[in-house]
Structure 1
Amino acid sequence: MTVRAAAVGLSLILQTSFATEAAMANPTYQLLQFDELEGWAEDDHQAAFDVFLSTCGDMRDPAWEAICAVAHEGHEARGFFERFFTPVLIEDGKDALFTGYFEPELRGSRTRGGPYQYPLYRLPSGVSSPWLTRREIEETDALSGKGLEIAWIDDPVDVFFLQVQGSGRVALDTGGGIRVGYGGANGHEYSSIGLELVRRGIYESHQVSADVIRNWVRNNGEEGLQLLWANDSFVFFREVNEVPANMGPLGAMNRSVTTMRTVAIDPTYIPYGAPVWIEKQGANPLNRLMVAQDTGSAIRGSQRADIFFGTGDEAGRQAGRVKDGGRMVVLMPIQSAYALLPDVIE
């Protein structure tokens, strides 16, 4: 993806993705009114409007192109959304699930030495799909000596989590840093490390979190590292230093994502660039207008979403705590919403 084509939020560490057939389920559509969206009047619509403007120009459907053109003429944000869109609830028989993702920050070096022993690799040429598994790559050093190393990292668990996230920043030992994004994958499906710990009887499912996994791997030496081999998927990277440091990583639209305003969705149901109203439940409820600018291999289903929490450790802690139900409503151009008839439930 660009950055997240095979990347996912922390949800993938803790659970398996939806089955493929879930993404193919026949959806149902229900048209709603804006006053049926919980907390709609209280949101910062201008913040969402600015994010919408950043990517709507990349949408190629005529209805969306027309709305984007109108948006660039300048409008009061809330009025713009209410005038040109209809809220549509799309359901596929699966309960809503919200998780979070973030951009990690790692410590690394351009050269191998000292603590910097764990490489981030570019995609090798001639890789077919599926290629070698994670275990086969690491156990046989299949990539060493090919000049594919972008940087060397001081922690193998950080490398693994970076592959899960799909993008991140590396602070270099010589000063400065680089940014890396998704550059390809070996073609194997992700297998949940969290579920593997549960399967082995080490933890109950409610005990598993990103920090728990990190600590278990780090505290169990070779056995800890071999736990990561339960995930056959292996992600390669590319440098994306053209993205300014003050902006978020590139999402599936090849544009920077925005903290707490970008959401990763399943494009089977929701078009990239569409405004999406989030009603997330849980310990920290969230009612907010976001924009569908990203996706991930665990994001399957019309009510499945991954919220971007930003960059760094604190963002990672916040993202890792999110595993909540709720409701997601996509804002569609009025004519596109009614074109769903006769399948629409009014």
Structure 2
Amino acid sequence: MAFSLALRSGRRGSAASLALAVAALLAGCAGVPLHPPAPATPPAPAGGPDIVAVPSAPGAALLRPRARWQPVDWSELPGWDGDRVLEAWSALNRSCERPSTGWAATCADALLNAPSDEASARAWLQSRLQPYRVESPEGAAEGLVTGYYEPLIDASRVPRGSYAVPLHRPPADLGVRKPYWTRQQLDTLPAAQAALRGREIAFVADPLDALVLQIQGSGRLRLTEPDGSLRTVRLAFAGHNDQPYKSVGRWLIERGEIRAEQASWPGIKAWARANPQRVQELLWSNPRVVFFREEPLPDPQLGPRGAQGVALTPGRSIAVDPQSIPYGTPVWLASTEPLSTQALQRLVVAQDTGSAIVGAVRADFFWGWGDQAEQQAGRMKQPLRLWVLWPRGPRS
């Protein structure tokens, strides 16, 4: 939690990207061409998203509901010898706190045999795991990677000056009214406004910053308390109003307000500055509202919890479609840096998902937090190839 803003609002307890935001803003207006489809494979087995079919013969593909995994040699992984794979070990260990089906024994082994250097880390991976190329059921092996990050926004505990845009905890009647009030109704109807009264966590100055937090699903607040003290807290996803997400970027494009190439977060903010009288109309075009809970930030070096329920690691965590890749799976990712031809080839771990992260070869790359993470995430929309690393089974 890639504008990958749009994608993040459906995430369960995850981080949020202005890159995601932009990807989300466009909600999939563009894509990466796929290879010509191959003959369809048989349907995936029943049993849920964490069940992988056992091959009937050595070298057979493993089937998942939305993907086919084709076994390959380690030599197929581009750049495998160039990554510092030991940097991904902390992310792998966090996933092993909540191991997926098929991972219990391998996770226990990883904890007992923690590598001390790059060579031992690479040797452990190659002896315990088998690489599989991820393909669509039709055989397409190329897809799309976007990026997301955790916003860091200035806020005030109480309304003061320009800090007048509230961020709310879930209202008490959220589970009673289905669907809940829309964004416009929450802003205009007395009964809807009454449901939010007293549920304010903090106030921000820019309504688009509030929208970023809601699309991303979580973020950090640099919070001014009533006594003037400053502290940083995290807002985590706590629910939404059960209304559909609508892209504000697409809304602007469809009305001829901006061109598609201008639908970046800076472009949308520039439009808002030039059209302050229409900002409310822009916001109301997206009826979905996200509610938060406040969490302490005991370790600022850890990211928010992803859908797997473990803290995300900057540069080593990705969001995936769990119908393609189970949470906790190590993944070799091959792409390029945003707006660059520089290779991005590294070991990451599938620990999160998002409502727009759908399909076999689809990932959202978690960049972390801060200005650089925001810039990288906001620009990322690259061709992608993926390989999962799956336990070989009991060793002799």
TM-score normalised per structure 2: 0.78
Name which of 90, 93, 96 aligns with 2:134. 90
RMSD: 2.5
Match of 1:276 in 2: 331
The residue number in structure 2 matching 1:340 is: none
- 2:13 paired with 1:3: yes
Q: Which moved more, 1:127-136 or 1:234-243?
A: 127-136
Q: Does the C-alpha gap of structure 1 residues 7 and 213 become closer, same or farther in structure 2, counting only changes over 3 Å?
A: closer
- Please state how far the C-alpha of 1:136 moved relative to its aligned partner: 1.9
Distance 1:251 1:120 in 2: 21
Distance 1:251 1:143, change over 3 A: farther
Distance 1:16 1:124, change over 3 A: farther
C-alpha distance in 2, partners of 1:129/1:40?
Answer: 49
**CA–CA distance in structure 2, aligned partners of residues 260 and 190 of structure 1:** 27
Distance of 1:197 and 1:106 partners within structure 2 = 24
Amino acid at match of 1:210: W
Q: How many residues align?
A: 331
Are 2:373 and 1:315 equivalent residues in the alignment?
A: yes
1:14 equivalent in structure 2? 26
C-alpha spacing 1:275/1:170, structure 2 compared with 1 (3 Å)? same
Match of 1:36 in 2: 76
Q: Counterpart in 2 of 1:241?
A: 296
Partner SS state of residue 277, structure 2? helix
> What letter is aligned with 1:83?
S
- Could you tell me how far 1:146 is from its partner in structure 2? 2.3
Q: 1:136 aligns with which of 185, 190, 197?
A: 185
Equivalent residues of 2:330, 2:347 under 8 A apart: yes
Gaps of 5+ in 2: 1-10, 31-48, 50-63
> 2-side partners of 1:219 and 1:325: how far apart?
34
Question: How does 1:1-346 map onto structure 2 within 5 Å?
Answer: 1-4=11-14, 9-10=20-21, 11-16=23-28, 26-61=66-101, 63-74=102-113, 75=115, 76-92=120-136, 93=138, 95-127=142-174, 128-140=177-189, 142-144=192-194, 146-173=197-224, 174=228, 175-241=230-296, 243-281=298-336, 283=340, 284-335=342-393
Specify whether residues 143 and 261 from structure 1 end up closer, same or farther in structure 2 by C-alpha distance, changes over 3 A only.
farther
Deviates more, 1:65-74 or 1:309-318: 309-318
CA distance in 1 between partners of 2:277 and 2:65 (Å): 42
> Given residue 25 of structure 2, which amino acid in structure 1 is its aligned partner?
I
Distance (Å, rounded) in 2 between the aligned partners of 1:249 and 1:6 = 8
Contact 1:163 1:235 (8 Å CA) reproduced = yes
Mark the runs of 5 or more structure 1 residues left unpaired by the alignment: 337-346
Which residue in 2 is equivalent to 1:343?
A: none
Q: Residues 239 and 314 of structure 1: is their aligned pair in 2 closer, same or farther, counting only changes over 3 Å? A: same
Once residues 335 and 222 of structure 1 are traced to their aligned partners in structure 2, the CA distance between those partners, rounded to angstroms, is 62
- Counterpart of 2:183, as a letter, is R
Work out which of the two has the higher radius of gyration on C-alpha atoms and give 1 or 2: 2
Q: Deviations over 1:205-243 (max 9, x none)?
A: 233212111221233113123112222221100011155
Residue identity in the other structure for 1:218 = R
Aligned residues: percent identity?
A: 37
- Displacement of 1:3 in angstroms is 2.2
Residues in 1 aligned to 2:318 and 2:252: alpha-carbon distance in whole angstroms: 28
Distance 1:5 1:184, change over 3 A: farther
CA distance, structure 2, for counterparts of residue 274 and residue 26 of structure 1: 16
TM superposition shift of 1:60: 4.1
Match of 1:341 in 2: none
CA contact (8 A) 2:25 2:263 kept: no
Give 1:153 shift: 0.7
Matched with 2:37 is none
Separation in structure 2 between the aligned mates of residue 255 and residue 240 of structure 1, nearest angstrom: 14
- Look up the equivalent residue of 1:134 and give its one-letter code: R
User: How high is the TM-score relative to the length of structure 1?
Assistant: 0.88
Q: What's the CA shift string for 1:1-48, capped at 9, x where partnerless?
A: 542399993221232499xxxx99753331121110110110011011
Instruction: Flag the 1:42–1:48 CA change in 2: closer, same or farther, 3 A.
Output: same
Structure 1 pair 17/330, CA: closer, same or farther in 2 (3 Å)?
farther
Deviations 1:290-312 (A, max 9, x none): 01111111111111111111112
